[in-house]
Structure 1
Amino acid sequence: MDKRSKIALYAIGVVIVLIMIAEITKPKALNWRDSYSASDKIPLGCYVVFNELESFSNQPVTTSTTNSFESLKTLADASKTTSVFINNFVSFDKQSSEALLKYVENGNTVFISTNYFYGILSDTLNIKVGTDANGLYKKPSLNSFTSPYLKKYEKRFTDVIENSYFIKIETINAVALGTIKIDKGDKTINDTIPDTNINYIKMPYGTKNGAFYIHTNPFAFSNYHMLNDKEDYAATVLSYLPKQPIIWDNYYKSGRKIITSPLRFVLQNQALKWAFYIALLTFVLFVIFKGKRTQRIIPVVEPLKNATLDFTKTIGDLYYQHGDFTNIIKNKIQYFLEQIRSKYYLNTNELSESFITKLAIKSSNKKEDTKALINFIVYLKSKSNHTENDLIQLNNLIEKFTKQTS
């Protein structure tokens, strides 16, 4: 790894570390997302009210994480319970609406607190919820109860509020329990909405004392208002409900946890998020030190080819293919005698008996074998034409001689 690559790796590592430090040390922004989830401690979560429900009702509180059709079909008809739905909007499909109607018809209770209520259940109960849309800003409002004995529990909401109320009610069955009075200040010309409207009703349903309690201020049950002197109002709203086991809905929530990717799941879990950051930092350090300590790859150098040997082999094959045994034998004899001259320092002009004796001694060969080779060379040199057998016999004698000397 060259110097420029190392500098680039170090720079990337430093940037990643600085980003992680900045991410860890920066103050968390306050999350104002609509949630109403029992596990969320953000301002618009319902962590506080959910944990107070059991002490409020003196009955067990269970959580539903499926739609109403799935959660209610498993309940025994004999058990009387109250299902609580709190969200900024509530809308049930056909199956869930029919399940809730049957559930209340069997003597159970449904409490709904929402700004926007629509769908099949709303149409069946013949009610409609609207909001105050006059003006750019949300106006303060006084949330009260119709009972004069509960006047001390009314509360004025000045912020984090949407002023919703009923604009259509089935007056034959509905019982008004609470009202909202919007502080409009200077009225606009086209403003025909009354200052005071109903925002909490009871809708009896069936013949077994079942009822729907519908409230239009879910903000009252958020952590923000529960911890800012509005808990008495929320408790009074819930006090109308019968004292029986509560089923808290955690499915029809704007803040319902939906994991859309593995990375989102990891980053939403505090322990897994730190494990991911540590693994990322470890990987960066590994790349830096691995790049520093690893030796550059040594290129493979191919050995030089023996071109002389290839050339000799090619020439020999050429002679052999053309059947020119005489030239091959002549060259082979010349090459052999040259080796004798260079290795044993003997004169090869006269291949006499004295030469044979000296060659046998210096080459450590038997005199008979040496004599047979030299006599056959003399014989071949005397011939003008040679055969393949002559070449084979010469080659065998030379190989036998050279094996003994090696």
Structure 2
Amino acid sequence: MDKRSKIALYSIGVVIVLMMIAEITKPKALNWRDSYSAADKIPLGCYVLYNELENFSSGDVLVSDQNIYEYLKRADTLTKKTIVFINNRIYFDTEESEALLNFVDKGNTVFLSSTYFFGNALDSLNISVEQQYANLFKAPSEHKFTSPNLKANNRIFEDVIENSHFVSVDTLNTTILGTITTTNEDELKTTSPNLIKVTYGDKGGEFILHTNPFAFTNYHLLNGKEAYAAAVLSFLPKQQIVWDNNYKSGRKVITSPLRYILQNPALKWAFYISMFGLILFVIFKGKRTQRIIPVINKLENATVDFTRTIGELYYQYGDFTNIIEKKIQYFLEFIRTNYYLNTAQLNPIFIEKLAIKSGNTKEDSKALVDYLLYLKSKNKHTEKELIELNKKIEQFTNNKL
């Protein structure tokens, strides 16, 4: 190795060492990801709440890492329990909904705090939620309890909030426990229920539903601000609590060895250095023993065949998530091109405009948009969901003006 090559290698080594030092010593950026996980100490994690739940439980706090159908199939049903669900969005399929309703019908309690409820179980309770499609930092809102005894625990959330509320409830079985008051641009105040109790069955079972999960995050429970959340949890009956650790936006899922390596800082840097060293080896080795590059004829322009081949490849390998993402992107582009609508925020105003311009009913437009939002909130998708999405889009576009 000549002198010039040694200088180049030494320089590269120094650069790698400096990069490692900079990476280790730089301050970590604050993570505002909405996690709701009991293990996360970030602002929107639920580490503080989980460690305080024992004060509201009659025994040790149990943890469910499975979907609710699998958990209840093996759970002890001799003693009454309360299952606590907290997440930005909560969806139960048909089997999960039936298991949950049977669980409450036996006299148990389910507590759900979410900005959006979706599934047969919630439909059976005849409730409807209106969600604000906006950023994390919204206008301040006042959260109050209907009971005068809890007036001291009322709170104004000034930042990091969610202003969703119930727009319809079953008045025969529902008790309103709390409300939310917001002020619009015209300084007009609107008060709506955001904390309700719905009785179910003949054995005292009940659903307690809340629409501001941010109230239970670390951000809103520290520095003496826990009174509101504690008052909400005080409506839970004194029985053993089961903490849901499955329906979480921040649930840690390791599906490949590479993801595990990249989540560990030491292994990640070892992987990067190995890849960088391998690239250097290929570069220097290639200069010495460069093989003859064969002549490759220019490919014909067959865009349709290429697109069909790529689509079949995605479908063959079960990459339904990729196909669903592209179908959603294409559909939103179709809306922008044909109806001249802004698809940045899929809110109720957008749904109303879409229904008018497309010739579909408002209910059909809302059902399609809700299903798009549900699919975008998931990390993995199934073939059934892809078929359902394609069917909904075809039905919708067939009615276009």
Normalized against structure 1, the TM-score is what? Answer: 0.64
Q: Work out the CA distance in 1 between the residues paired with 2:56 and 2:49.
A: 10
Task: Give the match for residue 40 of structure 1.
Answer: 40
* Greater C-alpha radius of gyration: 1
Q: How far 1:261 sits from its partner (Å)?
A: 3.5
Q: Work out the CA distance in 1 between the residues paired with 2:137 and 2:158.
A: 11
Q: How far 1:133 sits from its partner (Å)?
A: 5.3
2:54 counterpart of 1:54: yes
CA contact (8 A) 1:35 1:45 kept: yes
2:266 counterpart of 1:274: yes
1:11-26 equivalences under 5 Å are 11-26=11-26
With over 3 angstroms needed to count, the CA separation of the structure-2 counterparts of 1:274 and 1:199, relative to structure 1, is same
1:250 to 245, 250, 255: 245
Q: How far 1:139 sits from its partner (Å)?
A: 1.1
Secondary structure at the residue paired with 2:219?
helix
Secondary structure at the residue paired with 2:198?
strand
Aligned residues: 281
**Structure 1: 4+ residue segments shifted above 3 A:** 132-137, 275-285
Q: Work out the CA distance in 2 between the residues paired with 1:221 and 1:283.
A: 43
Q: Match for 2:260: what amino acid?
A: F
Task: Give the match for residue 294 of structure 1.
Answer: none
Post-superposition Cα deviations, 1:211-243, rounded to whole Å, max 9, x if no partner, equal: 100000100000000014431110110000011
2:115 counterpart of 1:115: yes
Task: Give the match for residue 200 of structure 1.
Answer: 195
| Aligned residues with identical type, % of pairs | 58
Q: Work out the CA distance in 2 between the residues paired with 1:251 and 1:120.
A: 19
2:225 counterpart of 1:230: yes
Secondary structure at the residue paired with 2:78?
coil
Secondary structure at the residue paired with 2:202?
coil
With over 3 angstroms needed to count, the CA separation of the structure-2 counterparts of 1:6 and 1:225, relative to structure 1, is same
1:43-192 equivalences under 5 Å are 43-132=43-132, 138-184=138-184, 186-187=186-187
Secondary structure at the residue paired with 2:9?
helix
CA contact (8 A) 1:118 1:128 kept: no
With over 3 angstroms needed to count, the CA separation of the structure-2 counterparts of 1:93 and 1:280, relative to structure 1, is closer
Q: Match for 1:41: what amino acid?
A: K
1:343-358 equivalences under 5 Å are none
1:263 to 255, 258, 265: 258
Q: Work out the CA distance in 1 between the residues paired with 2:15 and 2:135.
A: 48
Q: Work out the CA distance in 2 between the residues paired with 1:135 and 1:265.
A: 31
Post-superposition Cα deviations, 1:324-349, rounded to whole Å, max 9, x if no partner, equal: xxxxxxxxxxxxxxxxxxxxxxxxxx
Post-superposition Cα deviations, 1:120-162, rounded to whole Å, max 9, x if no partner, equal: 1221111111134599961101111110111000011000012
CA contact (8 A) 2:37 2:45 kept: yes
Q: Match for 2:156: what amino acid?
A: R
Q: How far 1:282 sits from its partner (Å)?
A: 9.7
Of the structure 1 ranges 3-12 and 162-171, higher mean CA displacement relative to structure 2 is found in: 3-12
Task: Give the match for residue 324 of structure 2.
Answer: none
CA contact (8 A) 1:43 1:224 kept: yes
1:218 to 213, 218, 238: 213
Secondary structure at the residue paired with 1:160?
coil
Task: Give the match for residue 314 of structure 1.
Answer: none
Q: Match for 1:181: what amino acid?
A: T
Task: Give the match for residue 241 of structure 1.
Answer: 236
With over 3 angstroms needed to count, the CA separation of the structure-2 counterparts of 1:246 and 1:213, relative to structure 1, is same
Of the structure 1 ranges 275-284 and 27-36, higher mean CA displacement relative to structure 2 is found in: 275-284
Of the structure 1 ranges 20-29 and 56-65, higher mean CA displacement relative to structure 2 is found in: 56-65
Q: Work out the CA distance in 1 between the residues paired with 2:184 and 2:240.
A: 40
Q: How far 1:183 sits from its partner (Å)?
A: 3.0
With over 3 angstroms needed to count, the CA separation of the structure-2 counterparts of 1:136 and 1:6, relative to structure 1, is closer
Q: How far 1:15 sits from its partner (Å)?
A: 1.7
Q: Match for 2:10: what amino acid?
A: Y
CA contact (8 A) 1:203 1:213 kept: yes
CA RMSD of aligned residues (A): 2.7
Q: Work out the CA distance in 2 between the residues paired with 1:118 and 1:207.
A: 25
Q: Work out the CA distance in 1 between the residues paired with 2:135 and 2:213.
A: 21
CA contact (8 A) 1:59 1:243 kept: no
Task: Give the match for residue 30 of structure 1.
Answer: 30
Secondary structure at the residue paired with 2:110?
strand
CA contact (8 A) 1:127 1:169 kept: yes
Post-superposition Cα deviations, 1:23-49, rounded to whole Å, max 9, x if no partner, equal: 111110000001000000000000000
Q: Match for 2:25: what amino acid?
A: T
Post-superposition Cα deviations, 1:71-129, rounded to whole Å, max 9, x if no partner, equal: 11112332211000000011111111110000000111100000011221221111111
Q: Match for 2:199: what amino acid?
A: P
1:353-372 equivalences under 5 Å are none
CA contact (8 A) 2:162 2:211 kept: no
CA contact (8 A) 1:37 1:46 kept: yes
Normalized against structure 2, the TM-score is what? Answer: 0.65
Q: How far 1:5 sits from its partner (Å)?
A: 2.6
Q: Work out the CA distance in 1 between the residues paired with 2:65 and 2:136.
A: 36
CA contact (8 A) 1:181 1:196 kept: yes
In structure 1, list runs of 5 or more residues that go unmatched. Answer: 189-193, 289-406
With over 3 angstroms needed to count, the CA separation of the structure-2 counterparts of 1:34 and 1:80, relative to structure 1, is same
Of the structure 1 ranges 204-213 and 11-20, higher mean CA displacement relative to structure 2 is found in: 11-20
Q: Work out the CA distance in 2 between the residues paired with 1:167 and 1:279.
A: 52
Secondary structure at the residue paired with 1:162?
coil
Q: Work out the CA distance in 2 between the residues paired with 1:134 and 1:19.
A: 38
